[in-house]
Chain A
């Protein structure tokens, strides 16, 4: 399990849900609706590391994003333990 820094975390459509926005490699924003349990107390999004290529990390999000992606490339700088 890894965590990703988020651009924002806001309340979702129901109390147990949060909406997180993360920046992916390339600068685009991915939005994903997740369980509130997938957000750490310091507003980081829990995810799973799939692999690395150079400074990029392929991660699997806890849910499908608004753009339909489960796996996205992010910069290693946004990845934490």
Chain B
């Protein structure tokens, strides 16, 4: 069941949704979603240009470390006042300015979705991983991909994604501290 704007605001007021800073502008809400804004932090992937060298990542490799890989093959960027241009075909990580927390007992989960204003220009903000699970806390990572043919500039503080909140049926196991683990139907 998707929460409406009134239910989202109510959930924020009673602590079922913790968001910091709380969007002050009522325009951040739509009937069934809440807009979040882009922070200044980006991570830009590098690609090798050495002839004959393949850049292959295999996350299934034993001992694979995303941290080591990302340190070697991406650069931190901060979006300045001039903004940041997403080139056609580029893939960049970003984050929301707001941090979100969904308490385990809140019986809420969320999905991060793009905004049509960016989508119509070819900009996607997530790649098949939209679920914000119960218990999540932190800023939301955005996977920017420019699928279009235009160079598109993004600016820190702009509405960049929207959250759709959904009520869960029941409380997840971790919310019960595992008290039902191993139980079988009798």
- Chain A interface (Cβ < 8 Å from any Cβ of B): 10, 12-17, 19, 21, 28-29, 31, 33-38, 48-53, 58, 60, 62-63, 66-68
Contact = CB atoms under 8 A, between A and B. Distances in A.
Most buried by B among A49, A50, A52: A50
Contacts of A14: 39, 41, 43, 76, 95, 139
A17 B99 CA distance: 11
A19 B67 contact: yes
Most buried by A among B59, B139, B174: B174
Interface residues of B, number: 30
Contacts of B76: 13-14
Interface stretch (B48-56, B119-127, B176-184): B176-184
Contact of B138 (A28, A34, A49): A34
Contacts of B74: 13
Contacts of B182: 51, 53
A21 B63 CA distance: 11
